[in-house]
Chains A and B, each alone.
Chain A
Amino acid sequence: MHFKARAGEKLADAALQENLSKAKDRFVGMRARGMLELDDVEATREAAKALRDRVLDDLDLWLEKFEQSATRSGATVLWARDSAEICRHVVDIAHRHGVKKVAKSKSMLSEEAGLNQALEAAGIQPVETDLGEYILQINDNEAPSHIIAPVFHKNKDEISALFARTHRRPALTDIQALTREAREVLRPHFLSAEMGISGGNFLVAETGSVALVTNEGNGRMVTTLPKVHVVITGIEKVIPTLEDLATLMRLLPRSATGQSISNYFSLLTGVKKTAESDGPEHLYFILVDNGRADLVGGEFAEMLRCIRCGACMNHCPVYQSIGGHAYGWVYPGPMGAVLTPLFTGIENALDLPQAATLCNQCGVVCPVKIPLPGLLRKLREKQVERRLRPLAERLALTAWAWLAQRPRLYALATRIGVRYLAWLAKDNASGGRNDRIRILGVAPEWTLGRDFPAPEGKTFRELHAARKGKP
């Protein structure tokens, strides 16, 4: 199904619309309050942007540095070109260590790779442990609709029914009780899983560590209890130092949920030391390309600064109207509208860069100052360059370009056009003029979901000529 059809479906989904409108302003207010605690938000954003660019400008060298540090600390560093290779690595590691069950903390890369399906096919049981991701998993592996709030689209009644069905327990209506039930169901999995899989918020080159940010504590569980820990993360996640980590940690939780710091924030380096009673005996990093390397140094390289906070979607009028599923792939909202065509092919996501108002709310709140509307505009240009726009649109633009280069003809055409629109706006009953056009005669589709503002009846050049000389 294409984006337009999906978006239309989501707009007509009354339950979804109610869930979205309830959550709408909450994230916006929380972020605004969180940012007030910083003395200089702009300087902090500039510093974060600069340190992300520092790495991306020499990404090969920083990756080598990270690899050296991580290997020295006792970890194994693996590389994956694509989804298939991620799955192959994870299944190999699982077989090597006799793993039957995997406890997973949230990882968007695992969503990119379809890892759960690959594990199940290999006879290994994956258990999602982030509450939101767990809810999706037991709902027949539904896709997340938000990168930090995976069940943004669901209300508690839907979750209550799902829990009652899956856990075969009486249905609970209270959110606190639902959360306790998930805790009770998941605790034994943490204790029995032989392998933990996590994403990585950042990779620190100085120490060869992964930094992990969670609120629930599941990230700590899956990286402390199982004997094997596998980190799956994109190659762009490297940062230089622990000082840089401190800078980014002032922005990431605030941008995401308005928290001045998330509940748990762990820096994990190497494996369990002799005499230590907990911690994994084996630590693997899987550094994933999946389309990222080709963006380095190019016109979309700024997108690689992204730290996956979700602020862009929380502030996006389009996301707030249709939710995350309409976007069709792993990443929704403005960052998803840029990443999806770049990672899956421009020709496979033609609608996403168009489905934006370019209002720049996303650009204003982005903690690492990614010019998201600019990148969306660039993607639109690519579509035109590669002749991927529909024939009617291409013909219309060609005609307009021809006309625009002939000033007299252009003046005549616009005078006819504007009078036609004024005629459409005429109110036949009263003989007066409406300020909106309900149905646009030549292009009725344009006014399917909105009115067209009625023009005055004269072109700009006519009005300008008439007023020339007047004060």
Chain B
Amino acid sequence: MSSREDILGRIRANLGRNAANATTDRAALDAYLQARPQGPRPRIGGDLATRFREKSELLSSTVEEVAVSQAAPQVIARYLATHRLAPHAVCWPELAELPWHEAGMQVEVRAATGSDLVGITGCFCAVAETGTLMLCSGPDTPATTSLLPETHIAIVSAARILPGMEEAWNLARAELGEMPRAVNFISGPSRTGDIEQTIVLGAHGPYRVHIVIVRGA
């Protein structure tokens, strides 16, 4: 007997599974998957972008706002200068058209490697409840850009800041159909508390996360 049959067989025996209850229980299971009820949720009131910003800052991210996405390269260049970081970065293909050069930045449009220091991404959407970015992997949105560099900069459209994770899943279902290979929720710079429960930023991923919220359309 295969391990699969052995394991499932013992579970079925323990649950008193038979043909009749398998049919009704399977129907109930499918109905639940259709209905997808939500659990109790904290109230998220007020302006979502403001809440997102406050929560992000609590997670040790830094945040600034611009009116239109065309203005993002300017503020990103300024951020890098303030932190004495070179104006070199890799960015997502979907951000290739922004005026990087005009802002004095050298930006390569490709996935990040282990030696890139700054990675610039957009995001699929963001979650106001916890101040979290949701990034979906894809040909134009590689997952390494937000992971390997020491500095991660994310451009977020205010219109795509949603109340909770439930809305984020629904947006993914509506716009993408099936789930991408990787959905990464990012909440601040990578950290560890393994040594004496002391929080240190920059474990294996970025040391800093800087978020640029685009207020306009």
Whether, in the assembled complex, A289 has its beta carbon less than 8 Å from a beta carbon of chain B, the answer is yes
Q: Using an 8 Å CB-CB cutoff, how does the interface string of B4-19 with A read, 1 for contact, 0 for none? A: 1011101110111100
- Nearest residue (CB) in A for B4 is A79
Cα separation A297 to B137 with both chains bound (whole Å)? 39
* B187 engages A262 (CB within 8 Å): yes
Whether, in the assembled complex, A93 has its beta carbon less than 8 Å from a beta carbon of chain B, the answer is no
Known: A235-B7, A266-B183. A220 touches B143 (CB 8 A): yes
Instruction: Return chain B residues, CB-CB under 8 Å to A217.
Output: 147, 190, 203-206
Enumerate A265-319 residues with CB–CB distance to B below 8 Å.
265-273, 275-279, 287, 289, 293-294, 296-298
Query: Could you tell me the dominant secondary structure of chain B's interface residues?
Result: loop
* B7 engages A279 (CB within 8 Å): no
Cα separation A374 to B43 with both chains bound (whole Å)? 35
Q: Using an 8 Å CB-CB cutoff, how does the interface string of A203-222 with B read, 1 for contact, 0 for none? A: 00111010000011110110
Q: Using an 8 Å CB-CB cutoff, how does the interface string of A176-187 with B read, 1 for contact, 0 for none? A: 101110010011
Whether, in the assembled complex, A348 has its beta carbon less than 8 Å from a beta carbon of chain B, the answer is no
Q: Using an 8 Å CB-CB cutoff, how does the interface string of A149-191 with B read, 1 for contact, 0 for none? A: 1111011100100000000000000011011100100111011
Instruction: Return chain B residues, CB-CB under 8 Å to A85.
Output: 3
Enumerate B1-53 residues with CB–CB distance to A below 8 Å.
2-4, 6-8, 10-12, 14-17, 22, 25-26, 28-29, 32-33, 36-43
Instruction: Return chain A residues, CB-CB under 8 Å to B11.
Output: 59-60, 63, 235, 293, 296-297
| Residues of A near any B CB (own CB < 8 A) | 19, 22-23, 26-27, 37-40, 43-44, 47-48, 51, 54, 57-65, 73, 79-81, 85, 129-132, 135, 149-152, 154-156, 159, 175-176, 178-180, 183, 186-188, 190-191, 205-207, 209, 215-218, 220-221, 223-225, 235, 240-247, 249-250, 257, 260-273, 275-279, 287, 289, 293-294, 296-298
Enumerate B99-139 residues with CB–CB distance to A below 8 Å.
110-111, 114, 129-130, 132, 137-139
Whether, in the assembled complex, B196 has its beta carbon less than 8 Å from a beta carbon of chain A, the answer is yes
B4, B8, B11, B59 interface centre (most CB from chain A within 10 Å): B11
| Residues of B near any A CB (own CB < 8 A) | 2-4, 6-8, 10-12, 14-17, 22, 25-26, 28-29, 32-33, 36-43, 55, 59, 110-111, 114, 129-130, 132, 137-139, 142-144, 147, 164-166, 169, 178-198, 200, 202-206
- Pick from A60, A207, A273: contact of B8, CB under 8 Å: A60
A-B contact pairs, 10 of them (CB 8 A): A23-B196, A43-B40, A60-B15, A216-B205, A224-B143, A246-B165, A266-B185, A277-B110, A278-B143, A279-B182
- Nearest residue (CB) in B for A44 is B40
* B194 engages A150 (CB within 8 Å): yes
